Amino acid sequence: MSTDITERELTHPWEGVLSAPARGSDVGVLVLAGSSGRIERERARLLAQQGFAALAIRWFGGPGQPPGICEVPLETFTAAVDFLRLGGARRIGILGVSKGAEAALLTAVHDARVDVAVALSPTSRVWCNVGPGHDGAHHPYRSSWTWRERPLSFVPMDDSWVPAEPDGSPVAIRGWYELSERTFAPSLPPAEILVDTARADLLLVAGGDDAMWPSLPFAEQLAQRRRSVGAAVRLIARHDAGHRPRLPGESSAPASPRFKYGGTPEADTLLGRAAWPHILDALGGGGADDR
């Protein structure tokens, strides 16, 4: 399905864009980027062409927001749910990638109005800040998120980690997360994202060759957490894909001078293509069969 869409630029309470079918929609989707901090305009436009009202926002680094992913209020995202509901959405989805997937899952846990969370390259637990908070400080490590002004429990990073790549080369930081899990093992249980308590349907998309963090093992942990209470979950995976699955119609992602993402353009495209019908079905209210 493809349809005529309208786009509306937003400047308050966040920077963003609302892409929606010209005829309107009763399904609203909040679209969240990861640590790039960008507004996912292209992804929102693709969803609008499929009949959804898609709201893509800047959730850090904008006016009045923390400059980094440091103690970002989850109320940032519940306010976006308010916005979509006021616009006429009766079904609410959140689609996020990487740190945006972390936000999507946590919002679904804390806000029962979320009907479906789609997490691309997710984590199963809360991690520490990536970048500075309002005070400009990166350290000591703090939570990425707050809820009702209280920081969520988190796993810090082990700064003894040394990248294997030569200086100046793009770095695979997956090993940093894996080391930090071992070093701070007692911090893992209180930092787990309790998707077993979420009312929302859950769709997970992950690549086994993710070089940023172990998103496929994380996704498997999330899926097991859902299955442990009999809740439905879908997990779409490719073992040769990396951190950036590409959905049909999205432009190719440029290589980063700083990080290795893993996978290949072909594998990432195939993962996105495999996930796309499940994403559309989940957002539209199709049954969340366990896979």
User: What is the per-residue pLDDT across 63-80, written as a single tens digit (0 to 9) for each?
Assistant: 999 999 999 999 999 999
Q: What is the dihedral of CA 15, 117, 147, 230, to 10 degrees?
A: 180
Burial 204-225 (b: 16+ CB within 10 A, else e): bbbbbbbbbbbbbbbbbbbbeb
d(CA 279, CA 34): 18
Architecture of domain 5-284 in CATH? 3-Layer(aba) Sandwich (3.40)
Place of tokens 């927001």: 65
The 10s digit of each residue's pLDDT in 223-261 is 999 999 999 999 999 999 999 999 999 998 788 889 999
Give the contacts of 61 (CB within 8 A, at least 6 positions apart): 37, 67, 68
pTM above 0.75, yes or no: yes
In this prediction, residue 291 carries a pLDDT of 41
d(CA 251, CA 97): 16
Length of the chain: 291
Residue 10 pLDDT grade (very low, low, confident, very high; cuts 50, 70, 90): very high
The 10s digit of each residue's pLDDT in 196-217 is 999 999 999 999 999 999 999 9
Q: Report whether 108 contacts 74 (CB < 8 A).
A: no
d(CA 165, CA 153): 31
The 10s digit of each residue's pLDDT in 101-111 is 999 999 999 99
Domain residue ranges of the chain, discontinuous segments joined by +: 5-284
